[in-house]
Amino acid sequence: MEKNNHYIKVKFWGIRGSYPVLNKDFLNYGGNTSCIEVIAGNHRIILDAGTGIIPLGDKIVREHISSADNLKDRKPIELTLLLSHIHQDHIQGLNFFKPANILSTKLNLFGYSGYNESLEKILSEIVYGKSFPIKLYDITSDYNINDITESEVIILKDGNNKPIVEKNMNIELVNTSENNNVYISVLKTNSHPNFGVLCFKISYKGKSIVYATDTECYVGGSKRLELFAKDTDLLIHDSQYTTEDYLSNISPKQGHGHSTFDMAMNTAQACNAKKLAMFHFDPSYSDDKLTFIENILNKKNKNYILAKEGMEICI
């Protein structure tokens, strides 16, 4: 990673909602579930651990191995992993994320279980419990799992791999261009089944990106999300359905906790996002269908795009 490059680099490793798909008709947009890599300064942040985190983990391990021939001279892997919620499509890659099993890795995980128990306990049961041969305490890296709430801001300081959590900090009052810190603020939206989800805003050097997955914007939009994402450089927004499928008379998707492409675009417009990347597509939507949708949406605003696996956006 370059030092102090003063921009945020985003790479999509998983853009599907619900479950992964592997089929020749899905190769262009990709079939892995939610995972996005964000590089801000010296920090690597990962948004969600769908199956996209598996090839990302493989790449990180390759980088680690090539950093030095001698094991003890290798550059340690340092990661901040943010989990929006604990539905399967956001955690199902965690078991196979290889950096978690490298001794020198420092893994700081933040998220929210939604239940009356810690995220660590819930993950130990549903990811590393009876459904998998490895237990959470078998993981060999130096990891910590933290519950995070809306009133907290995670700060990643330059040259320090230990995140600091500040309570009741108003990120709007911080001029992020004045230092080298990365600020991660949190918004909880409640439109998703079970216990809602966490949306994340990553701010660095006066730029920001907002990650809003698994959120359903009802008529009139999500005003809290619009405020949270105001003037962001990049909004990454749930776009699971077409409006037609959302309002289908046969199998309506209203109330499933996901947005349509139109809802994502309305939110981007309302919050004045400079760029919108729609993602978390329904797993039944083939490349042909998504290309057809993208061609229509592109005519409305060329800065509103559909994410693809492997796509990189620098801001």
Binding site for Zn ion (CB under 5 A): 17, 87, 89, 214
For the CB of residue 198, give the shortest distance to Zn ion in the complex, in Å.
11
* HSE-CB for 142 with a 13 A CA cutoff: 9
For Zn ion, give the closer residue by CB, 230 or 256. Answer: 256
Strand 197-204 and strand 207-212: pairing? antiparallel
Rounded to the nearest whole angstrom, what is the least distance from the CB of residue 54 to Zn ion in the complex?
A: 17
Euclidean distance between CA atoms 313 and 37, whole angstroms: 11
Q: Please say which residue, 17 or 99, places its beta carbon nearer to Zn ion.
A: 17
Q: Which is nearer to Zn ion, 78 or 89 (CB)?
A: 89
Q: Name which of 239, 219, 156, 222 is nearest 188 in CA terms.
A: 222
203 vs 260 by CB, closer to Zn ion? 260
Cβ closer to Zn ion: 132 or 195? 195
Residue keyed to tokens 């009052």: 173
In the complex, least distance from residue 280 CB atom to Zn ion, rounded to whole angstroms:
6
* Least CB distance to Zn ion at residue 56 (A): 17
- Nearest distance in Å: CB 193, Zn ion: 7
- In the DSSP assignment, the letter for residue 199 is E
- State the nearest-atom distance from the C-beta of 50 to Zn ion, in Å: 8
Tokens of 55: 């090839």
Residue 44, SS3 per DSSP: strand
| Rounded Cα–Cα distance for residues 52 and 56 (Å) | 7
* Neighbour count for residue 3 (Cβ, 10 Å): 9
Nearest to 192 by CA among 307, 272, 112: 112
How many residues would you count in the chain? Answer: 315
CB of 286 to Zn ion, least distance (A): 19
Listing from the earlier edge strand, what are the strands of the sheet with 78-82?
142-147, 106-111, 78-82, 43-47, 35-40, 8-14, 312-314
Output 194 or 248, the one with its CB closest to Zn ion: 194
Q: Select 119 or 182, whichever has its Cβ closest to Zn ion.
A: 119
